[in-house]
Structure 1
Amino acid sequence: MQLTMPRFDQSQVLVIGDVMLDRYWHGGTSRISPEAPVPVVKVNGVEDRPGGAGNVALNIAALGSGASLISVVGQDEAADALRSRLESVGIHTDFQTSADKPTITKLRVISRHQQLIRMDFEDSFGAADSDGFLDKARKLLPMMGAVILSDYAKGSLQDTQSLIKAARAAKVPVLVDPKGTDFERYRGATLLTPNLHEFEAVMGECSQESTLVAKGTELMLSLDLEALLVTRGEHGMTLLRPNQPEFHLPARAREVFDVTGAGDTVISVLASSMAAGSGLPQAVALANLAAGIVVGKLGTATISGPELRRAIGAEQGSERGVMTEEQLLIALEDARAQGEKVVFTNGCFDIIHAGHVGYLEDARSLGDRLVVAINSDESVSRLKGPARPINPVDRRMAVLAGLEAVDWVISFGDDTPERLLEIIKPEVLVKGGDYSEDQVVGWEIVKGYGGEVKVLSFFDNCSTTAIVEKIRDQD
């Protein structure tokens, strides 16, 4: 399957469900309490993270999609902390306030990277606490491309059927991350995403692929679902749809550090992709790719749009090599999102020789990514004469792209790279030869926005012109 990056910036997703505050107290410990045989922690840092449906919304926002969140909180400082964290990243929050129950808070005391204790502050919410959810959802549904019901069995999702029916009436797909063993409450949803443990708790053990497919098909038909996605940890994911072959994807993680929040990532990428117009198989493949990245991170984590785009590029073999101008600008955006330093050099590179190779290796050492821009055939002819180039531009680009030091290769038709420098804005401009800094074409552009200009020497006194003349002398 050819994966493509969805236009997340054009999608809107509504999350409805149980929100909670994950609070961490960090500190050192060096003694035992005289009051009881427990360590004394001197707290020197407090960290607040939105959890539950809040983490789902954070995942959506990190991808670049618009995110709205409906949930229940208490009248307390924890609710203020949640609103602040969520709204600071552009998430629209519409919280209903419970008069007699606290915001669900999970407090963890951490010392030397070890969790010493967790304290939960929560009372299950009742129907009265969420009786305004349907009205809130109906106001937002016309603007939404997908709805997620994020159920953590904390009581916020009391009337799931009304929410599902309202969304389906508005022709908005409903994705459900279920909890418990009563899947009947999710009847009519577009897609259910249980993990294998949750699925087997409802449908019984599935020791064989055929059993999983048979029981999954039975569940879909009984609940009038359009699709079922069973996430299976190290065994990947299985997508089932009525009257269609099962679609199985293997796990993508190379190294697993923490599976916390992986389910949130999966449903967030699924919903955001579908809201952006992706078909279900494409959305599942993207979610599987994203899950493989997020489980390689410690703690509850999100995956950003640039991270996912880089992973898609790596999947398609396009994270390096020959680029169009549009492709290069996207690759540069992703590189800079990762804090990478971009180095730029240019030339004709008609016949690649040892001097070029050494020079490009030195140029690459000045940053994290090396862009090589080469003159088009017409440009080379204007600069070097009608007998040049020896090699056409596609061959010159292919040779450069095969060098380990080179990340991206692009051609340009002008006689100078000044237009490219204006749009690429490399952190470092490199030129090879016997120049002073102010003789390098484009130096004033790069210096103007705070970049660096470096002049490097070619190795071994090599020269393309000298090589060409030597060959001609031998003819």
Structure 2
Amino acid sequence: MNSALTSFGHARVLIVGDVMLDRYWTGPVQRISPEAPVPVVRVRADQVRAGGAANVALNVAALGARVRLLGVIGRDAAGAELRALVQARGIEAEWIESPSLPTITKLRVLSRNQQLLRLDFEESLDCTDGFDRASLRQRFAQCLADCDIVVCSDYGKGTLVDVAALIGLARAAGKPVLVDPKGTDYARYAGATLLTPNVPELEAVAGTAVDDADLLARAEALRARLGLEALLLTRSEKGMSLLRAAQPPLHLPAEAREVFDVTGAGDTVIATLAAALAAGVELPQACRLANVAAGIVVGKLGTATVSAAELEAALHHPHADTGVVDEDTLLRLVAAARARGETVVMTNGCFDVLHAGHVRYLEAARRLGDVLIVAVNDDDSVRRLKGPTRPLNTCADRMRVLAGLRSVDWVVPFSEDTPARLIGRVLPDVLVKGGDYRIEQIAGHDIVTAHGGRVVVLDFHEGYSTTRIIERARQLP
């Protein structure tokens, strides 16, 4: 599986389909409108992202594969924004401009990470003067020689009205074709390599299933009828099922630990599948990668992507989101956190007898970023620092207690007298130490600042001391 990740850079993916601009307005809700029983959102942020087939392209690019995108936009401000978003990610794009129709735009209004309203600005491209279909087919044919696999991302907006012709061109050129389908006319996808419908989409075409066995039977019948090599059925909380000719179904359980937003999850699935297959990964293994990627992306807000670092971390340590980790695991998790744009905070200490002062200090450190790493002196280094009677608690016990704190994400041991070496490997965005230290006295401060990070000294709360607790315990009768 790891070799698949390192070879994504050699994969070449061509994506054609409905591109759109996703806009997000976010802000607090503090009252109900006097004009109607609806919440009033005070908009504090306006964010735009590439959606639809463009989001598929971003997902492929995030994995490190080379991607070319072919889509239709309007001659408007939204089209210009979408162009800029795609270009900023280093994606080669072939744009077909519609002279009369707007760029498809979806505006979502959110408060406290909950979607309150969605507004769609669009007209169907499925009309004679919607766009130059011949130009799209011509550009598609020209792009085929420079790709390993084709993705048709159909959102039912009209870009793929001639999808059967595109599939025919790709198959004649010897290129596999993956389709994320829409609507009820699946006959136009005949001859594709693989389809990725979800359960409602499948049942809209094949009929409502009475149970799981019936659902898989209907999916297999559809696969055979369309002459597909495979059909990957995405089943929400039940995971995925891969159906292939003359082989038993392959069932993959859902990987998500917390579902935050399913927007764009299908884009991530087909993007990961395409990148993996283009990199030479066998289909069952590629589906496993896509399943893991889907489990990551539903934990993010809105249309989002999954990086190779996040995927690698999830594959190597699927249950190591928090808690005690070794150094190599920590580095993979930190890479995944950075890929998500998170700020990494790090502190260190013996934490021999955990007390309220420690807890308050760690809570304050956690507020400086998105994830908090606590590096803990192992038992030998504590003895060198504190004397032969310390520590009172073993390193394993101390780390386990720290890992149970809500403010702490990862706990890692170190054996040296200072954590400078470990800090040099992690390179946190914020290095924190408690007490009356000067910054230049803090181990690792020079490494962190040299790499653009900052060092923060936090005050310890008065009245709390491990030494004082030990002395008081010794005075007890």
* TM-score calculated relative to the size of structure 2: 0.72
Q: Using a 3 Å threshold, how does the CA distance of structure 1 residues 302 and 111 change in structure 2: closer, same or farther?
A: closer
Aligned equivalents of 1:177, 1:138: Cα separation in 2? 20
Question: SS of 2:208's equivalent?
Answer: coil
Does the CA-based 8 Å contact 2:107-2:118 persist in structure 1?
yes
- Counterparts in 2 of 1:142 and 1:52: CA distance versus 1, 3 Å: same
For structure 1, the 5+ residue unaligned runs are: 468-475
List per-residue Cα deviations over 1:420-452 (Å, max 9, x = no partner).
3333333225489x9776555444444655323
2:406 is the alignment partner of 1:402: no
Cross-structure match for 1:121: 123
From 184, 195, 198, the equivalent of 1:192 is 195
Match of 2:153 in 1: 150
Among candidates 207, 231, 234, match of residue 231 of structure 1? 234
Map of 1:51-450 to 2, 5 A cutoff? Answer: 51-99=51-99, 101-106=100-105, 114-115=116-117, 118-126=120-128, 129-141=132-144, 143-168=146-171, 172-253=175-256, 259-295=262-298, 300-305=302-307, 308=311, 311-312=314-315, 315-317=318-320, 319-325=322-328, 327-336=329-338, 337-345=340-348, 353-354=352-353, 364-365=362-363, 366-367=365-366, 368-372=371-375, 374=377, 398-399=396-397, 401-405=399-403, 407-411=410-414, 417-426=419-428, 427-430=430-433, 438-446=440-448, 450=454
Contact 1:64 1:304 in 2 (8 A): no
Maintained 8 Å contact 1:25/1:107: no
Task: Tell me, in whole angstroms, the C-alpha distance in 2 between the residues paired with 1:390 and 1:116.
Answer: 60
Report the AA paired with residue 95 of structure 2: F
Q: Tell me how far 1:286 sits from its aligned partner.
A: 3.8
- Residues 312, 359 of structure 1: alpha-carbon distance in 2 compared, 3 angstrom cutoff: farther
Q: Contact 1:20–1:103 (CA<8 Å) still a contact in 2? A: no
- The answer (yes or no) to whether the contact 1:343–1:364 under 8 Å persists in 2 is no
Decide which structure has the larger Cα Rg and report it: 1
Q: Distance in 1 between matches of 2:78 and 2:220?
A: 42
Report SS of the residue matched to 2:155.
Answer: coil
Aligned counterparts of 2:232 and 2:223: Cα–Cα separation in 1: 10
Which residue does 1:18 correspond to in 2? 18
Is 1:313–1:319's contact at 8 Å kept on the other side of the alignment? no
- Give the CA deviation at 1:292: 4.3
Aligned-residue identity in percent: 39
Provide closer, same or farther for how the CA distance between residues 380 and 276 of structure 1 changes in structure 2, counting only shifts above 3 A. Answer: farther
Question: Which digits, 9 at most, give the CA deviation of each residue in 1:244-268, with x for residues without a partner?
Answer: 2212234455665654433223222
1:452 has 2:456 as partner: yes
Alpha-carbon contact 1:153-1:179 (below 8 Å) kept: yes
Per-residue deviation, 1:91:
2.5
The alpha-carbon deviation at position 240 of structure 1 amounts to: 0.9
TM-superposition CA deviations, 1:5-53 (whole Å, max 9, x none): 83455544321012234567899996769xxxx9999999876544332
Whole-Å separation in 1 of the counterparts to 2:106 and 2:43: 13
C-alpha distance in 1, partners of 2:224/2:378? 61
The alignment partner of 2:284 has SS state of helix
Identify if the C-alpha distance between structure 1 residues 81 and 204 changes in structure 2 by more than 3 Å, giving closer, same or farther.
same
Q: State the distance in 2 between where 1:303 and 1:451 align.
A: 31
Aligned positions, number: 442
Q: Which amino acid aligns with 1:335?
A: A
Closer, same or farther: CA 117–146 of 1 in aligned 2, 3 Å: closer
| Structure 1 letter corresponding to 2:13 | V
Deviation at 1:193, TM superposition (A): 0.8
State the distance in 1 between where 2:389 and 2:172 align. Answer: 64
The structural deviation recorded for 1:228 is 0.5
SS of equivalent to 1:266: helix
1:314-344 deviations in whole A, cap 9, x for unaligned? 624465434244x433222333445344223
Q: Which amino acid aligns with 2:189?
A: Y
Q: Describe the shift of the 1:105–1:200 C-alpha distance in structure 2 as closer, same or farther (beyond 3 A).
A: same
Quick one: which amino acid aligns to residue 92 of structure 2? H
Q: 1:42 to 1:134 in 2, by over 3 A?
A: same
Secondary structure (helix, strand or coil) at the match of 1:121 reads coil
CA shift in 2, pair 1:320/1:138, >3 Å: farther
Say if 1:145 and 1:397 are closer, same or farther in 2 by CA, change over 3 A. farther
Choose 191-200 or 399-408, whichever is displaced more: 399-408
C-alpha RMSD of the superposition:
4.8
